[in-house]
Amino acid sequence: MKTKLLKYYLQSLQQIDRLKLARNIRTPLVLIISVLVFVSVILFFTPWLMNQPLFFKTQQKHAEQKMEEPDATMLKVGIVLLQKKIDRLTPGGVYLVINTSDNSFSLYKNKELVREGACSTGSYIKLEAGNEKSWIFETPKGVFTIRGKVTDPVWRKPDWAFVEEGLAVPPPGDPSRYEYGVLGDYALSLGDGYLIHGTLYKRFLGLPVTHGCVRMGDDDLETVYNTLPIGAKVFIF
Amino acid sequence: MKHTLLKILTIFVPVLLLLVALQYSIFSVLSVRKQYQDICDSAENNIPQPNEEDSTWVQLYKEKTWLESRLNSAKSDSICLSINLKDSVIQLELKGVVLLSSPMITYSTDRLLKELTPGGYHNLFSKEVQAINDLSTIEKVPLIIKQAPKDTIEYARQSHAVDSLPNEEVHWLMQFENGIELHIEGSDSDLHKKIWRNKFWQKQNFATTLAKLKKTLRFETPEYHPRIMVVISKTDAKAIYRALPEKPLICIRM
């Protein structure tokens, strides 16, 4: 078989000679064709071959010990129970889901989507101060609960708010630390200083621009404030 | 002399390349067969093998294991990924709550995964698996380093405007502890056939092929990782990748 193939190959070479192709063209031509065939086998033929059902069918005969179909009643009962368990994991009341990548939120009530819209979340800016201090403006991910709700919130500016603007950091309790009217009409606390609040910069809704808090538009914020009670779950991803 | 050398070269090189290609093909097929054998042989013996390949029992069994694995992963405090190929949906879940549900635009899997025996299916998918590493065109945490201004004048000079999100290419892959590779392509295009022909995937394919070729040249059976290739919207692909922790738990339903 091998000798036959070799003979055939040599004959083909002679045919090329017969075509009066210059001898110095023949070698590169043969080499190029060989490389092309090689690449095709590696990149196309082998992956195709690896996906042929033939190889698996042959093996299945050895691997399996066929039998009659077992009774599926217990499986059906098990599935119903498991499905119920999974369904129970989703809060039955109200909860909020915040997508920090897309900067959007979805509000659910009785497992139904009742409102969705744009919000703003952490900018992922790492602010580095000269004194080896740094802050990462990131909205934390995970499950949170609404810990508190306030109307007409006042922003108590943390150190980074001054450092970021090139200002000297005032002592705690200094009047310059308090800013009124910048957080909108409502704020819901998620703990650790993170809030869901309003914004003056509505054009940035849908963009990651905050220092970690979640900003919403006025109408969305009002709905969220009125819908979510203290203790309601907030899922951030 | 030169003529003889050329003649030898014309015969020797093609024959050598053909032999190497043949060797590569044989070892590649062997690697698939070996993997298949390993998966199906190490499966628990008490999994029945009904006569019909797609029997009701098998379907129900798959559904049960799918729910069990999702329930187990709900015990974790981290965000998990559920890949439901039966319904063509990929979901982000946290404590059993679906955070994001993204319909698959299209998907494909290697033949090995389609040809699994119930025992083999049990071995691969009956429990949630952990991802062991990943590779992506986007950063997990898109950190922007900014130096604090020295004074208000420097602050005024800095740029603060953020008008839009960068339009990034989103392709990522994850390798699971059971050897499966998940390829996610973020695309809003409906040109499915051309979707996987971008630089990122070509680079991965080239690296895999090269590694396999090196192994086969040493007469070793190369590693084979069955692939699940899914196309979802770019926004969802980005959101899912960034939401998942370093080594997330994954549930798969075929």
* Contact across the interface for B64 and A75, Cβ inside 8 Å: yes
Distances (CA, A) of B13 to A15, A37, B6, B196: 19, 12, 10, 33
Banded model confidence at residue A30, pLDDT cuts 50, 70, 90? confident
Nearest to B184 by CA among B64, B90, B73: B90
Q: Rounded to an integer, what distance in angstroms lies between the CA atom of residue A138 and that of residue B158?
A: 21
Write down the domain spans for chain B: 2-45+53-149+165-253
**How near does any CA of chain A get to the CA of B107, in Å?**
16
The per-residue pLDDT string of chain B (254 residues; one tens digit each, 9 = 90 and over) reads 667 777 788 888 889 999 999 999 999 999 999 999 888 877 566 677 766 666 888 899 999 999 999 999 999 999 999 999 999 999 999 999 999 999 999 999 999 999 888 888 988 999 999 999 999 999 999 999 999 998 888 888 887 767 677 788 999 999 999 999 999 999 887 666 677 888 899 999 999 999 999 999 999 999 999 999 999 999 999 999 999 999 999 999 99
**What distance lies between CA B61 and its chain's CA centroid?**
24
pLDDT on residue A23: 64
Q: Is A208 close to B9, i.e. CB distance below 8 A?
A: no
Q: CA of B207: which chain A residue's CA is closest?
A: A43
What are the chain A neighbours of B99 within 8 Å (beta carbons)? 97, 99, 235, 237
Q: Who's near A137: CB < 8 A, 6+ residues apart?
A: A122, A123, A124, A125, A126, A127, A210, A211, A212
State the DSSP H helix or E strand holding residue B199, giving kind and residue range, or none if neither.
helix B199-217
- Flag whether pLDDT at A207 surpasses 70: yes
Confidence band, pLDDT 50/70/90 cuts, at residue A58: low
Is the pLDDT at A227 greater than 90? The verdict is yes
Please write the tens of the pLDDT for every residue from B72-92. Answer: 999 999 999 999 999 999 999
Q: How many CB pairs under 8 A join A and B?
A: 222
- Predicted pLDDT at A132: 79
Q: Residue B29 and residue B26: Cα distance in Å, rounded?
A: 5
Write out pLDDT tens, residues A156-202: 999 999 999 999 999 998 999 999 999 999 999 999 999 999 999 99
pTM summary value: 0.87
CATH of domain B2-45+53-149+165-253: 2.40.440.10
Question: Which residues from chain B sit within 8 angstroms of residue A233, using beta carbons?
Answer: 97
Spell out which residues of chain A touch residue B20, defining contact as CB-CB under 8 Å. Answer: 38
Report the alpha-carbon angle A192-A152-A143, nearest 5. 30
pLDDT of res. B45? 60
Q: Which residues in chain A are closer than 8 Å to B155, comparing Cβ atoms?
A: 164-166
